[in-house]
Every structure is written in C-alpha cells, then in structure tokens.
Chain A
C-alpha cells in the first residue's frame, strides 16, 4: 500500500496519540499518580507507526522497555494502557506489569520487555509458529541499538534466517544505550550491517522520515509474508527525553537535544511533508491534535475512575489454577 492522504492522516494521528499520551504520563509522574519509571518514545514515533501501518491485527508485535509507542501503534486501547501506568485493576496487565510490561494479547501485542533483547528470541518463535501453522502472519520485533550486543540478537537472527521465518527485526538506533553513547561500545556504526552475518537484507533508514520507514517496512513485511524470510531494519532516531525518569542527561548536550527537537522531530517533519502535498490543512492538523488530546484526557479520566487492584489478586495469574489434565 502506498501512502495516500487518508492513510497519512491516520498515521499522523497515531504519532500525536503517542506523543501526547507519553507527555501526559510524564506529567502524571510528577503528580505522583503514575508511579515507577517510564522510558518514553518521544522523538521515535515515526518508526512504530510506519511499521505497524503495514500490519494486520493478527500480526505479532514484541517490544522493549520503551514500548508505549509500539503498543498504541498496534492498536492497544489507550485507556487501559493509562490505567496500567496508574496501577489500576483495569490496566492492560491488571496492574501487574506497569510501563515496562504492557501487553495486549487480544491485538497480538505480546509485550513490552524489561530485558534488553528479551523479545528477539520469542519474536522469532512467534514467526516459527506462523510457519508451522502455515498462516501468513508476520512478526515484528522492536529493539534498541543496545540489544544488538546481546546473544539473543545473534541467535534470533540466525534462526530467523536459517528457517526463513516471517519476522521483521526493527532496531531503533537512537545513538544511546542508557547513558552510554553507542559509539563508545559498538564496533559497527550501523546495526543494519550486522544483517550480513546472517545472510538477510539489512536496511538502514532515517527513522525521523516517516516515508522512508514506511517504504522499508512495506518491503520487509511483504517479503516476510511471502515466506522469503527476515529483514533487519535499522531506523536512525533520537529520544527527546532522558533514558528513564530522573536521567540527568550528562552524556549529551542541551544543544544536541534542542537541535533534534527543533529540526528532526518526526511529527513536525511529517506534518510539513503532508502539507506540501496538500494532504493536511492547518485546521485538520489542529483537529487531529485536539482529538488526540481528548483521547488522552479520556484515558486519564478512565484511569482515575478505575479501582485499585484488590491486594488478594497478587496471588492470581502465576499459573492457570483452573486447568486440570485430561485423560
């Protein structure tokens, strides 16, 4: 599918939904209503929305510690996500997971992940399942540049390639791994170059450029769906906020952050791109932002009105206690 005005507006709306959801979540942490930590996706939104625009409801998505964007782009209900951050019984994971573990299996969002590279093996495994079942579902695994150092990245890509599994590996290379610049701890600049070792296509794209990510993703998803195997997409990007809450950001300059925010904001860039094509008027733009803001406000109200978890629920969900072996 090529980008048209309608699809672009939908994608653009999702970018705002993610941006405003997270900015509100950050604000709520300062009020103490959202507890724990948050790893925000602000600045990286183009990647999740461009990739997920190619996915069907039954395609699988696995994420990272920074997955609010992945979940919203794949269709997770915002109100339940906000309720999860608020630690309410109505949250996506019934207040057991929190920001780092949001999942919504009804949309085949198999979860954010607190373990760097933790989703790569399981994501490849969902693709194996699709292969065995002869379904044409595609799996997308998102991970940061830091994950490319870990064994599960290498083992996952090997299996994916060896068995030509329908999986797309999406590396969000934001140049930092917590507080360490990637260049201090990596030997290849582009994670896409690592695809060569596993004999799969490796594509590096500007992650702030929605159209570029959209096109690379389209090819990769189609290739996977055709049964031709995995692709590794590296999307070069930047996170606007600190690694997580309370990050003093001593490892990067204010100017660098301001420059990205000013000149490389994927939302601003895509808005301009649409406007150039007359696909987005100023009024529509405002309406989209207002609509996203209203949805966020509604999600906060939902979270606030939702009950706290019942302490007794702490014991449930460890195992399926209803299950009995059948003869």
Chain B
C-alpha cells in the first residue's frame, strides 16, 4: 500500500468528499494562500473556486456562517488556524451548533466540521499550543475526533463530513507530516470505534492523538524490560468506545491513560473514571494517567520539555502499573 503524510490524507479526504457531494465547501483564514498553513486545503481553489472561502480574521463569523450554511443544507468544513482561536467562536460552537438539534426537538441538523489544528509545535507558547479536546467532549451534541495516523485521519474526516451533526476535528500539528499507509479506494471509519494499535498482554495503554506514536515507541522500548503493552487509540472521544477499551483492560488488568493535554479534568479523567466504574474488579493496579501538568504552555524549550508528556513518561507509567 502507498504511504502518505497525515496532511495529505486529510487533503485527499476533502477533495474526494467535495467531488462526491456538491454541498461540501471550505471556509477559513488563509485557506487559499498555500492551502492554509498546513496545506490541507491546497488545490481546492483550482477545482472548485466557488466552494472555498478565504475569510477575514473573524472566527465567530466563520463558525457562525458555517452553522447557518449547515442549517440550510450545506456541509461546511471550517478551518480554525489554531485550536486556540476557537475560543473566539465558542458561542457559535456550543450554543448555536451543538444544541440546535436538541433544542428544536430534532428538526435541525448541523453537519459542520470544525478543523482544529492543535498541540505544541515550534515553541509558540501559550496561545498557539493548546489541545482542548476535553472542552468539546463536555458539550452534548458535539462529536470529537482526534486521529493519530494518516489512515485514521482520512477515514474519520470522511465520516465527519458525511455526519449530520457537528464535529470538532482535532489535528495534531506535530503529526501533519507523519506518514502511514492509506489505501487509494474510498473508505470511512465509523465514529465510536477504537483501534488497537498494538497488541499486548501486560498492560493497556490508552493513548489519544499525539500520544499514540509516543505510546507505540514506549511499547518497543518496554519490550527490553519484558513488558508487552497493548496500545488502544480511541480515535473519537465523543462518542467514546469504552467497550474496546474495557475489553482490553479486562484482559491485561492494568491501565495507563495518556493524553498530551493537562490531565486535570481532562480526556483521560473521563476514560479513567469509566474504567473504574466498569472494570474495577479486573484491575490489578490503580489506573495511572499521563498528561501535562496543569499549566499553560510555556515558551522555552526546557520548560516545554517538562510540560509535554513524552515516551519516557509513558514508560514510567507502565512500570508503575506493573510494579
């Protein structure tokens, strides 16, 4: 199978869905110039000049218009340059997009995809490095995707675009250039299906987004110590496939939950709590969470290095549940 980068996989998904469905369109800042900072929207203007909108710097307007267009039957794919700026449009996400179906007794459908490039990269400090998945998980009516591989990115993006409901689509900036196998033929990955990225017997490591490659690396490193870990990637955080996660933990009896964001009130907290509720009697050690300390992202590399969890942190957590 051919190998492509994650950003290329996303770009393919957009092109294919735009070819498939006339109601799909793209809107965001700098999406025509270079195809956005991450090149994901490259080439669209050449094929569909009327279906890509390069906007003023006005996130509330961008998302608000997206919601309205979606209510009127279109399928907007919104790019927010950095997830940090989505706070400028939180009303549009939370009060306008997410609740509309419910408040209208099922009349409304808001098929909007909000692409949220996230995570630390290139030392750009506190206002350009956040992740924020858990903010969106907490809003009923939103779906949250966080792919870690090019294959998942493409398949989840297709599902996101085809979905009748809003999707917050997290793209880890640091993973854009990471490569992986992606088939040429059409496929979509249903939401709410975790993927076992590595099989193992000794401990289950649930890893989210940018932590997946780190967990896999830890898996290789830990082999030398005789630990055989299983790595489960939920792929979507809402809906969250606790079934697959629990199935794994019931087998291994040990669980580590890894996210790149602050672990306080985070994504891993939900997973760990659900594990405690559903697998308590199968656990042979307390659950360990890996995440960043509860601080804004600092600037200096020395500070960033102790903030963002790395392979060593995953390994240390595994050793802890194995001890």
User: Beta-carbon contacts of A3-27 to B below 8 Å, as 1s and 0s?
Assistant: 0000000000000000000000000
Give chain A's interface secondary structure class. Answer: loop
Is residue B251 contacting chain A, with contact meaning CB distance below 8 A? Answer: no
Among the 9-residue stretches B28-36, B44-52, B206-214, B232-240, the one with 4 or more Cβ atoms under 8 Å from chain A is B28-36
Does residue B56 face the partner (Cβ distance < 8 Å to A)?
yes
A150 an interface residue at 8 Å Cβ cutoff?
A: yes
CB closest chain-B residue, reference A243: B30
List, in ascending order, chain A residues with CB within 8 A of B38's CB.
none
- A251 and B33 within 8 A (CB): yes
Q: Are B34 and A248 in contact (CB under 8 A)?
A: yes
**Contact between A96 and B299, CB atoms less than 8 A apart:** yes
Query: Which A residues are CB-close (under 8 A) to B84?
Result: 114-115
- A314 touching B307 by the CB < 8 A rule? yes
Q: Which of B33, B61, B299, B307 contacts A97 (CB 8 A)?
A: B299
A160 to B287, CA, bound (A): 52
What is the minimal beta-carbon distance from B265 to any residue of chain A, in angstroms? Answer: 14
A184 touches B54 (CB 8 A): yes
State how many angstroms separate the Cβ of B105 from the closest Cβ of chain A: 30
CB contacts (< 8 Å) of B56 on chain A: these are 146, 149, 177, 185-186
- Chain B contributes a number of interface residues (CB within 8 A of A) equal to 36
The 8 Å CB contact of A150, one of B88, B124, B126, B307, is B88
Residues of A within 8 A of B294 (CB): 318
**Distance in Å from the Cβ of B301 to the closest Cβ of chain A?**
6
Among B55, B85, B295, B300, which residue has its beta carbon within 8 angstroms of that of A87? B300
Say yes or no: A101-B88 contact (C-beta < 8 A), given A308-B300, A311-B302, A314-B306.
no
Given A36-B123, A146-B56, A180-B54, the answer on whether A93 and B34 have CB atoms closer than 8 Å is no
Chain A, interface size: which category? 35 or more
Please, which residue of chain B has its CB at the minimum distance from the CB of A246?
A: B122
- Given A146-B57, A185-B55, A314-B293: A115 in contact with B300 (beta carbons within 8 A): no
Q: Which residues of A contact B303 (CB under 8 A)?
A: 95-96, 309, 311, 313-314
If A115-B84, A179-B34, A250-B34 touch, does A95 touch B293 (CB 8 Å cutoff)?
no
Question: Measured between alpha carbons, how far is A37 from B88 in the docked complex, in Å?
Answer: 22
A residues near B316, Cβ cutoff 8 Å: none
A98 at the interface (CB under 8 A from B): yes
Residue in A116, A184, A314, A318 whose CB lies within 8 Å of B57: A116
Q: Is B200 an interface residue (CB 8 A)?
A: no
Q: Is B269 an interface residue (CB 8 A)?
A: no
Q: A168–B158 Cα gap in the complex (Å)?
A: 48
Nearest CB of chain A from residue B145's CB, rounded to whole Å: 25
A150-B57, A314-B298 in contact; A179/B30 too (CB < 8 A)?
Answer: yes
Chain B residues within an 8 Å CB radius of A36: 122-125, 299
B60 at the interface (CB under 8 A from A): yes
B305 is an interface residue with CB less than 8 A from chain A: yes
B300 in contact with A309 (CB, 8 Å): yes
B249-276 at interface with A (beta carbon < 8 Å): none
Q: B278: CB under 8 A from chain A? A: no
Contact with B along A245-279 (1 / 0, CB 8 A): 00010110000000000000000000000000000
**B196-226 interface mask toward A, CB cutoff 8 Å, 1 = contact, 0 = none?**
0000000000000000000000000000000
Interface assignment of A178: CB less than 8 Å from any CB of chain B: yes
Q: Is B128 an interface residue (CB 8 A)?
A: yes
Report the separation of the CA atoms of residues A88 and B84 in the bound assembly, to the nearest whole angstrom: 25
Of all chain B residues, the one with the shortest Cβ separation from A251 is: B33
A147 at the binding interface (Cβ < 8 Å): yes
- Residues of B near A177 (CB, < 8 A) are 29, 56-57
Contact indicator A114/B60 (Cβ below 8 Å) = no
**Contact status A178-B58, CB under 8 Å:** no
A86 to chain B, nearest CB (A): 9
B127 at the interface (CB under 8 A from A): yes
Check if B296 is an interface residue, CB within 8 A of chain A. Answer: yes
Specify which chain B residues have a CB less than 8 angstroms from the CB of A87 in the assembled complex.
123, 299-302
How distant is B43 from chain A, measured CB to nearest CB, in Å?
Answer: 15
Minimal beta-carbon separation of A142 from chain B (angstroms): 15
Contact between B127 and A101 (Cβ–Cβ < 8 Å)? yes
Determine if A281 is an interface residue (Cβ-Cβ < 8 Å): no
Which residues on the A side are within 8 Å of B298 (C-beta)? 95-96, 309, 314
Smallest CB separation, B83 vs chain A (Å): 12
- Let me know if A291 is at the binding interface, CB within 8 A: no
**Contact of A98 with B302 in the complex, beta carbons under 8 Å:** no
Q: CA of A187 to CA of B148 in the docked complex: distance in angstroms?
A: 40
Q: A36-B123, A313-B303, A318-B295 are in contact. Are A115 and B88 (CB under 8 A)?
A: yes
Which chain A residues (103-121) contact chain B, with CB distance < 8 Å?
A: 113-118
Interface check A100, CB cutoff 8 A: yes
Roughly how many angstroms separate A184 CA and B54 CA in the complex, as a whole number?
Answer: 8
A67–chain B nearest beta-carbon distance, Å = 13
A35 within 8 A of B: yes
Interface residues of A in 180-195 (CB under 8 A from B): 180, 184-186
8 A Cβ contacts from A59-102 to B = 84, 87-88, 91, 93, 95-98, 100-101
- Report 15 cross-chain contacts, Cβ distance below 8 Å, ordered by A residue: A87-B301, A96-B303, A98-B123, A98-B124, A100-B124, A114-B124, A115-B88, A146-B57, A177-B56, A178-B29, A185-B55, A185-B56, A309-B298, A311-B305, A318-B295
